[in-house]
Amino acid sequence: MNFEHVIFGNLLAREDYGRRVIPFLKSEYFQDRTDRILFELIESYVHKFNKFPTTETLLIDLGSKSGVDQDTHDSVLSSIRELTHDPKTDLDWIVERTEKFCQEKAVYNGIMKSIQILDDKDDKHTKEAIPKILSDALAVSFDMSIGHNFLDDAQSRYEFYHRKETRVPFSLEYFNNITKGGLPNKTLSVCLAGTGVGKSLFMCHCASGNLLDGKNVLYITMEMAEERIAERIDANLLDVTVDELAVMPYESFQKKIAKVKNKTTGKLIIKEYPTSSAGSANFRHLLNELKLKKNFTPDVIYIDYINICASSRIKYTANVNSYTYVKAIAEEIRGLAVEFNVPIITATQTTRSGYSNSDVDLTDTSESFGLPATADFMFALINSEELEALSQLMVKQLKNRFNDPARNKRFVIGVDRTKMRLYDVDESAQDLMDDKPIMDKSEFGERDSDFFKKRSKFGSKKMDGFA
């Protein structure tokens, strides 16, 4: 007896089995025409009457089904009469076996469909659709969850509130404070800054800190070469300037690398893609390849940076605006974070007006407001002449799903650009007002503010009749 007939027999005899598997079964999983027609009869009856048919009702429905030749009719008739089931069969076992059946058939169908596309026998899909077809096939599973019952599931909800969530911590105190200890898995975090302010520096520093914490780190760069990213991370980890790296003897370099190796059990992989040539589908393939070939599974992923990624769903043309395109990229990358259960950190540019703005806001995000709408955590790095003189950057929270963004809305961190490092500053340096931009508190800002204050039209000269 083939397993298809085991499925049919239990669908007719065991409603508890049928209710669990019927939402996931598809007629395309049944290769034999007889089996496919038999399943369609059962599926049609369930959809119409919301209960499972009997042998008798199937025989009657078969007699009225059109488009079935006599030989096929006789074959289906024989199959219906031979359907049986064993009531002693364990329910969980047969459900699990049915899930495996669906997964195998989905993969087989996906491969066959891909072959048709490659042979130009499918006029509805292009070769670019193959990765998604295979990905969807591999993702087939029996998801039994149909929602959270608020009252009945109170205990599981309480356990969730008191469960210590896995997070990837920062090496910067204030970032840990505003994220409750670091970034949770399945999240997308975005650093917003102008050109040259320090987006890549921030990500390289955080990647270095993660590595020293024993985390596996994947750094995807689409802006700078792999070697340039590695150079920045080397400067950070080896505690030398970028200029010193170029003149350091090989023996000294090796000794410093050996010290880093002894401090961590983590790994760091840097992968370069050409600008705008790769998206979530490429990153998914990379992650699978790393797991297969190097037994490497990242704990955190950095993408430098999101606006120069490509969408795997939408082809960029003149008919696609930047809002839709960048939002699609953000959604795909956040979906990747959920799929692989990791936090993803990326960056984006400010607009031209935002570049010179001393109080950057969400509206200063370049190209698409769909990016901050999709992100879980978003912050801005702000620079000025005074901050530059103090070797500091101001951080402003823009969006925070992990904590109250009004707490520590603005704070400063130290920056050592020669060693590509960030560091915590003394508490006295955090004397910032959340409702006042840092530039407005400087001498220049006060003069500038006074100059642009609206003056009364009566202030320039005294009017007749008034003192």
Q: What is the pLDDT of residues 188-230, one digit of tens each?
A: 999 999 988 999 999 999 999 999 999 999 999 998 999 999 9
For residue 26, being part of any structural domain is answered with: yes
Residue 221 contacts by C-beta under 8 Å, 6 or more apart in sequence? 228, 229, 270, 271, 272, 273, 304
pTM: 0.66
- The answer on 284 and 213 residing in a single domain is yes
The answer to whether residue 456 scores a pLDDT higher than 80 is: no
- The answer on 192 and 78 residing in a single domain is no
- The answer on 185 and 126 residing in a single domain is no
Q: Using CA atoms, how far apart are residues 43 and 31, in angstroms rounded to an integer?
A: 16
Q: Using CA atoms, how far apart are residues 332 and 329, in angstroms rounded to an integer?
A: 5
- 14-66: pLDDT as tens digits: 999 999 999 999 999 999 999 999 999 999 999 999 999 999 999 999 988 88
For residue 361, being part of any structural domain is answered with: yes
- 134-176: pLDDT as tens digits: 888 888 888 766 677 888 888 888 887 887 778 999 999 999 9
pLDDT of 432 = 55
Q: Which two tokens stand for residue 420?
A: 């590509």
Q: Using CA atoms, how far apart are residues 370 and 380, in angstroms rounded to an integer?
A: 16
Q: What is the mean pLDDT of the chain?
A: 87
Q: Work out the burial of residue 217: count CB atoms within 10 Å of its CB; fewer than 13 is exposed, 13-18 middle, 19 or more buried.
A: buried
Q: Which two tokens stand for residue 263?
A: 């401090």
- The answer on 11 and 96 residing in a single domain is yes
Residue 118's domain is classified under what CATH number? 1.10.860.10
Q: For residues 366 and 323, is the Cβ–Cβ distance under 8 A?
A: no
- The answer on 171 and 124 residing in a single domain is no
For residue 161, being part of any structural domain is answered with: no
Question: Residue length, the chain?
Answer: 467
In the chain, the number of structural domains is 2
pLDDT of 467 = 42
For residue 149, being part of any structural domain is answered with: no
- The answer on 422 and 285 residing in a single domain is yes
Among candidate residues 409, 399, 405, the one with its CA nearest the CA of residue 435:
409
- Tell me the backbone φ, ψ of residue 207, rounded to 5 degrees: -65, -40
Residue 220's domain is classified under what CATH number? 3.40.50.300
Q: Domain range spanning residue 409? A: 167-450
For residue 112, being part of any structural domain is answered with: yes
Name the pLDDT band for 378 (thresholds 50, 70, 90).
very high
- The answer on 239 and 349 residing in a single domain is yes
- The answer on 296 and 258 residing in a single domain is yes
Task: State how far the alpha carbon of 426 is from the alpha carbons of 173, 180, 222, 405, 413, in Å.
Answer: 11, 21, 35, 22, 9
Domain end call among 122, 138, 154: 138
- Integer-rounded Cα Rg, in Å, for the chain is 30
The answer to whether residue 451 scores a pLDDT higher than 50 is: no
- The answer on 350 and 218 residing in a single domain is yes
